[in-house]
Amino acid sequence: MLKILRPGLLTTIQDAGRFGWYHIGMPPSGAMDQFSFRAGNLLVGNDQGAAALETTFLGPDLEAGADVTVAVTGAPLELRLNGAPAPMWVALALKAGDKLQCGQAVAGVRSYVCVGGGIDVPELLGSRSTYLLGRFGGIGGRTIAAQDVLATGAPRRGAAELTGRRLDSRLLPTFPEMAELRILMGLCSYRLTEESVAQFLSTPWEVSTEADRIGYRIHGVGFKFRDREPPFGAGSDPSNVVDVGYPIGSIQVPGGKEGILLMRDAVTGGGYATIGTVIQCDLDRVAQAAPRTRFRFRAVTIQDALRLRAQYKARLRMLADSLALFDSVGWLGQ
C-alpha cells in the first residue's frame, strides 16, 4: 500500500481510460500523456493500462506501507527517495517505511507514479480512472488527499527483477515550448472562410492559463465565418451548430474569438462549431503543454493520421523491446 503524506497540486488515479460510453455522455478520462503513463507501467512490470497516479505541476509525497516497485515518468521533476536524489524513468525499490517525494515539474505539466501491481481501486464502467467533473471513479471521483491509503495489486514480478530497469534514452519524450500539432480538419471547418482557415494553420497559438483535463483555451487569431448560412446552422451566432459529437482533441470556436482544445474529461457533444481534431498520437504533447506554450497546427489527411498512429504504436512496442534487452544484458550507458 501507499500512504499519501502530501497530495501535490492536483493528483488523480488514472488508467488507460474508460471506453464505450460516449453514447451516454461519459468521456474516457484516463492518463493525459498516454506514452509516459504506459512507459511507467512497463518499467514496473505491469500491463500498460494499469492504474497509476497522475500529477499536475507538483507531485505528492508518499510513504510505502510494504515493499513495492515504483517508477516516475512524464514531466521532469525533482524526485527524492528518503531525502536523496532519485532518477526518473527508472524502476525504484521502496521498502516499507521509505518515503518518495515528487517535487515541482521543471518542464511539462504531468508526471506519472506507477507502482508494481497498479493502484487497486474499484472499477466503474470498466475503468479505475477518475472523472473529476462527474465525481466518478478513482476515490469517490476526487483528487487524492493527505492521509489517503492506496491499496496496490499483486505485482507480477519481484523487486529484485525490476530494480534499476530503465529505457533507452532515445525513446524518451521531450517537452518543447513550441510544438507542432497535426490536425484533421472538420467537422465544421466548412463554415470558416478560406482566409480564416489559412490563418488558423499559419499562426502560432498560445495556451492560456485556463487549461485542465477538460480543455485548453488557446489564443491566436479570431475566426471569420462565411456570410451565407450553410446547412446545420443554429441561431444567429455563426459559431453555433446543431449539436455534434466532440472527439477528444477537437477544437471548438465559441463566438469565433478563440479556440478550445477539448481533452479527455471534456463533454462528448454540443452546439459549437468544431474546426478540426488533433490526431491521437499528438495529444501527449498537448497534455504536457503549460500555459504560454505555443502550438502550430498542420493539416493532415486521414491516411497520414493512420500512418502516424501505426508509428506511435510501434514506438510503444519499442519500449517493451528496450526493457527486454535491458533484462537480458543490461543497458549500455546506464
Per-residue pLDDT, 229 = 52
One domain for residues 251 and 102: no
Q: HSE, CB side, 13 Å, CA atoms: give it for residue 277.
A: 17
Per-residue pLDDT, 175 = 87
Q: Are 220 and 205 in contact (CB under 8 A)?
A: yes
Q: Is residue 110 part of a domain?
A: yes
Q: How would you classify the pairing of strands 294-299 and 178-185?
A: parallel
Q: Are 44 and 152 in contact (CB under 8 A)?
A: no
pLDDT at 331 over 60: no
Q: Are 184 and 300 in contact (CB under 8 A)?
A: yes
State the average pLDDT over residues 37-54. 97
Give the CATH number of the domain where residue 278 resides.
Answer: 2.40.100.10
Q: Is residue 266 part of a domain?
A: yes
Residues 6+ apart with CB under 8 A from 262: 214, 215, 246, 247, 248, 249, 250, 251, 252
Per-residue pLDDT, 223 = 82
Q: Is residue 324 part of a domain?
A: no
pTM score: 0.93
One domain for residues 69 and 117: yes
One domain for residues 209 and 276: yes
Per-residue pLDDT, 330 = 65
Q: Is residue 67 part of a domain?
A: yes
pLDDT at 329 over 80: no
- pLDDT grade for 334, boundaries at 50, 70 and 90: very low
Per-residue pLDDT, 257 = 80
Q: Is residue 312 part of a domain?
A: no
203 vs 98: CA distance, rounded Å: 49
Cα dihedral 47→49→51→57 (10° resolution): 120
Of 102, 99, 107, which is closest to residue 88 (Cα–Cα)?
A: 102
Per-residue pLDDT, 236 = 65
| Domain span holding position 57 | 2-173
What letter would DSSP give residue 23?
A: G
pLDDT at 231 over 60: no
One domain for residues 188 and 77: no
Per-residue pLDDT, 60 = 97
Strand, coil or helix: 91: coil
Residue 231, all three cell numbers: 446547412
CA distances 1 to 42, 83, 116, 121, Å, are 19, 20, 11, 12
18 vs 29: CA distance, rounded Å: 6
| Tally of domains in the chain | 2
pLDDT at 276 over 80: yes
One domain for residues 119 and 184: no
CA distances 24 to 19, 138, 152, 175, Å, are 11, 20, 30, 35
In the sheet that holds 12-14, the strands lie side by side as 12-14, 52-56, 110-115, 68-74, 92-94
Residues 6+ apart with CB under 8 A from 193: 224, 225, 226
One domain for residues 162 and 194: no
Radius of gyration of the chain (CA): 21
